[in-house]
Amino acid sequence: MRLLVVEDETRLAGTLQRGLQAEGFAVDVAATGPAGLEAARHGGYDAMILDVMLPGLSGYELVRRLRAEEHWLPVLMLSAKDGEYDQADGLDCGADDYLTKPFSYVVLLARLRALLRRGAPQRPTVLTVGDLSLDPAGRRVTRGDAEIALTAREFALLDYLMRRPGEVVSKTELLDHVWDASLETAPNAVEVYVGYLRRKIGRHHLETVRGAGYRLTP
């Protein structure tokens, strides 16, 4: 899943990016309000972590503009302002959750996962394709009654494919949604990880459509 972090504190932004990448998310960072607004509008993200105090445009105003445009990207707002009215202002302007600084990374991650579930009610709690089941919240994959151990990247790849069962998904789309757009990624990365995944879930589940991409089937 793709996340956008809008944070002007370079050290904090880098820490969030590295931590979330380790959890299997693809993460982009914007350092100003205007840059964050532009990325949120057109980046195809699954959620945004947004600071309140930003150069150029506040987090409050950024969310207001998105909601005015009927853009419902889930937003977790971060702020050093811990007053109850500050939190109410953040939620009232359109944020979905509010976390005060300093915060626990474990709590941030838990709230982010809850936000992703709440923000996409059309997505089932547990994804199922044939005998494969994937639990995004519990980070578990099973085939029949057997649990399958996956790396963070393999999990993210299977998660994305299981949300598009029976559809042909291109390498470019997988790179955009499973890999971090800010990092150099080897052109054959998708092929390599598809190979890893096939060995674990069964080759018959993951077809190669020559010249087009990959398709997950029951």
Question: What is the DSSP track for 32-99?
Answer: SHHHHHHHHHHS--SEEEEESS-SSS-HHHHHHHHHHTT----EEEEES--SHHHHHHHHHTT-SEEE
Structure tokens at 173: 């789309």
What's the pLDDT score for residue 187?
A: 66
Structure tokens at 150: 């996956």
What's the pLDDT score for residue 131?
A: 92
What's the pLDDT score for residue 152?
A: 82
**DSSP structure class, residue 123:** S
Residues 6+ apart with CB under 8 A from 94: 63, 64, 66, 67, 75
40 neighbors 27 (Cβ within 8 angstroms): no
Q: What is the pLDDT along the chain (218 residues), one digit of tens a residue?
A: 899 999 999 999 999 999 999 988 999 999 999 999 999 998 889 999 999 999 999 999 999 898 888 788 899 999 887 667 777 778 878 888 888 888 888 989 988 988 887 764 444 568 899 999 998 766 789 999 899 999 888 988 998 899 888 999 998 888 877 776 545 667 688 899 999 999 999 989 999 999 899 999 98
CA dihedral sign of residues 92, 94, 98, 102: negative
What's the pLDDT score for residue 120?
A: 46
What's the pLDDT score for residue 197?
A: 94
What's the pLDDT score for residue 121?
A: 40
Please report how the helices 10-22 and 105-119 are oriented relative to each other, as an axis angle in degrees rounded to 10.
Answer: 70
φ, ψ for residue 172, nearest 5 deg: -60, -40
Q: Following CA atoms 32, 38, 41, 43 in sequence, which dihedral angle do they give, to the nearest 10 degrees?
A: -90
Map out the domains of the chain as residue ranges.
2-119, 127-216
- Domain 127-216's class? mainly alpha
129 neighbors 137 (Cβ within 8 angstroms): no
Specify the CATH superfamily of domain 2-119: Response regulator (3.40.50.2300)
φ, ψ for residue 22, nearest 5 deg: -65, -25
